[in-house]
C-alpha cells in the first residue's frame, strides 16, 4: 500500500476516534481550569530501563507530585490518566482528557539513548524535523504493540514510516501555539530554576498527543541512560525538582489564560450604548459608513487573535489604544446583528462585553451614529 495513502487511512481512522471525544473548552472565570496529567507507560510496560531505573515509576511519582502542587489551587481540577502501576492504552489517555474537556494535557516521560546524551526536552505534536525526533517518537509510540486490538485502534499506522505521521498533525494544529507556549515555559523552568541542560522545544509525531483535542505537551525529563542524570531523576530531590518546575510552568500558563478571560469593563459601556430612550421595541437606523463590533476583553498583553484564545469566538480583531490592547469580536454594519453577537459573547462567559461603533476607522459613540424610533 502506498505510504501516503496509509497516512490518509490513519488520519481517517484516528480522526473517527477524535470526532467521538473531541470538545473545545469554553473557559470562564467560574469554571475550574482542568489539567490532565499523564504518567507515561505503566503496568507491563516499564518504559526505558536505563541503568536499571524504571521510567514508569519515575514518571508516575513526578506526576503525582505535580498534581499535589496544583491541587492546592481551588480553581484547578487535576485528573490523572493513572495513579498507580497500571497500563493505560494511548488512545484511552486522550479519551480521558477529551471527556474531561481539559484545558491542558501534560504527559511525563524519561528519555534514553545509546550515547551520553542528557538534558530535558519538551515536545509538541508535529512533523519530525530530524531523525533524532523521529526516533524519540518511535520509542514512545511503540507502546501500541502492547495494547489489545492495536491493529484496530491504530489501523494503517506504521511507527517505522515517517509518512504515517503526516495525518497526525492536522487535528492538533488549532492548539499548536498554546502547546508551544506551555512547552517553552516548562523548558524555561528546567533551565532557569534547575540549571538542567536545555535540549529545547521540539515537534514530533506522538500518538498520545494526537489523541487529545487541547493544548498538549510531552515532557522528557532527562536521560536514564546517562548515569548522573538517571540517578538524579531517581532521587527524591530530582523528582521533586522536576515536579515543582512542571507545576510552576502550568501555573504560569494558567495565569496567562486568566488574563484573557475578560474582566469587568462595564464602566466603558456608557460611552458606547444607545440613548436611554431606546428599548427592545425600538428599531435602529444606522448612519452610513458605520460598523459595529463587540468588545470582549482588554489588557496589557498582545494575545494572538486565534479563536481558541477567545473561547471559540471568531473573527477576533485587536487594536492598541495607548498601553492597552482591546479585543473585538465580529464586525457588521447591522446594529441588530451586532446585538446578537453580543449575546453570543455573553453566553461564552464575556458578561461585560459591549457594542462598539466605528466610523471611517475611528471609534465613536454608538449613540452618535444610530437613530432609534419606537415601533
DSSP string, 297-358: EEESS-----GGGGTT--SEEEEEETTEEEEEEEEES-HHHHHHHHHHHHHTT-TT-EEEEE
**What is the SS3 assignment for 115?**
coil
* Confidence label for 2 from pLDDT (cuts 50, 70 and 90): very low
Answer whether residue 144 shows pLDDT above 80.
no
State phi, psi for 131 to the nearest 5 degrees.
Answer: -65, -35
Report the percentage of the chain scoring pLDDT > 70. 68
Give the mean model confidence (pLDDT) for residues 46-67. Answer: 97
* Confidence label for 361 from pLDDT (cuts 50, 70 and 90): confident
Say what the pLDDT of residue 27 is. Answer: 43
Say what the pLDDT of residue 365 is. Answer: 84
> What fold, for 3-259?
Aminopeptidase (3.40.630)
* Confidence label for 14 from pLDDT (cuts 50, 70 and 90): very low
Say what the pLDDT of residue 23 is. Answer: 33
Say what the pLDDT of residue 107 is. Answer: 94
Answer whether residue 41 shows pLDDT above 50.
yes
Answer whether residue 315 shows pLDDT above 70.
yes
Answer whether residue 42 shows pLDDT above 90.
yes
In tens, the pLDDT along 180-208 reads 889 999 999 999 999 999 999 987 767 76
Answer whether residue 55 shows pLDDT above 60.
yes
pTM: 0.63
Answer whether residue 49 shows pLDDT above 90.
yes
CA atoms within 13 A of residue 35's CA, in its CB half-sphere:
26
Answer whether residue 130 shows pLDDT above 60.
no
Answer whether residue 6 shows pLDDT above 50.
no
Domain ranges of the chain: 3-259, 266-374
Answer whether residue 5 shows pLDDT above 90.
no
In tens, the pLDDT along 209-264 reads 777 788 889 999 999 999 999 999 999 999 999 999 999 999 999 887 776 554 44
Say what the pLDDT of residue 197 is. Answer: 97
Amino acid at each position: 500500500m502506498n505510504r501516503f495513502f496509509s497516512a490518509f487511512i490513519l488520519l481517517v481512522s484516528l480522526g473517527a476516534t477524535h470526532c467521538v471525544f473531541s470538545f473545545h473548552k469554553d473557559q470562564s472565570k467560574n469554571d475550574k481550569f482542568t489539567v490532565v496529567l499523564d504518567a507515561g507507560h505503566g503496568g507491563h510496560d516499564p518504559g526505558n530501563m536505563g541503568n536499571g531505573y524504571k521510567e514508569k515509576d519515575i514518571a508516575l511519582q513526578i506526576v503525582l507530585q505535580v498534581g499535589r502542587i496544583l491541587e492546592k489551587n481551588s480553581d484547578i481540577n487535576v485528573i490523572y490518566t493513572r495513579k498507580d502501576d497500571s497500563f493505560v492504552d494511548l488512545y484511552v489517555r486522550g479519551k480521558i482528557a477529551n471527556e474531561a474537556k481539559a484545558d491542558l494535557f501534560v504527559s511525563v516521560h524519561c528519555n534514553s539513548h545509546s550515547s551520553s546524551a542528557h538534558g530535558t526536552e519538551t515536545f509538541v505534536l508535529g512533523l519530525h524535523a530530524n531523525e533524532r525526533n523521529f526516533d524519540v517518537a518511535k520509542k514512545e509510540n511503540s507502546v501500541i504493540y502492547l495494547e489489545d486490538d492495536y491493529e484496530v485502534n491504530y489501523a494503517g499506522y506504521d511507527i517505522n514510516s515517517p509518512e504515517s505521521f503526516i495525518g497526525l498533525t492536522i487535528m492538533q494544529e488549532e492548539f499548536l501555539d498554546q502547546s508551544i507556549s506551555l512547552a517553552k515555559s516548562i523548558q524555561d523552568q528546567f533551565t532557569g530554576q534547575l540549571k538542567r541542560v536545555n535540549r529545547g522545544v521540539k515537534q514530533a509525531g506522538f500518538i498520545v498527543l494526537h489523541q487529545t483535542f487541547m493544548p498538549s505537551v510531552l515532557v522528557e525529563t532527562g536521560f536514564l541512560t546517562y548515569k548522573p542524570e538517571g540517578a538524579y531523576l531517581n532521587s527524591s530531590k530530582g523528582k521533586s525538582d522536576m515536579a515543582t518546575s512542571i507545576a510552576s510552568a502550568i501555573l504560569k500558563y494558567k495565569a496567562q489564560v486568566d488574563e484573557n478571560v475578560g474582566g469587568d469593563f462595564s464602566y466603558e459601556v456608557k460611552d458606547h450604548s444607545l440613548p436611554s430612550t431606546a428599548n427592545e421595541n425600538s428599531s435602529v437606523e444606522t448612519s452610513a459608513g458605520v460598523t459595529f463590533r463587540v468588545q470582549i476583553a482588554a489588557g496589557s498583553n498582545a494575545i494572538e487573535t486565534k479563536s481558541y484564545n477567545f473561547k471559540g469566538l471568531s473573527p477576533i480583531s485587536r487594536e492598541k489604544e495607548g498601553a492597552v490592547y482591546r479585543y473585538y469580536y465580529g464586525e457588521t454594519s447591522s446594529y441588530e446583528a451586532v446585538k446578537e453577537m453580543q449575546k453570543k459573547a455573553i453566553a461564552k462567559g464575556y458578561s461585560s462585553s459591549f457594542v462598539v461603533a466605528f466610523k471611517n476607522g475611528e471609534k465613536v459613540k454608538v449613540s452618535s451614529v444610530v437613530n432609534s424610533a419606537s415601533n
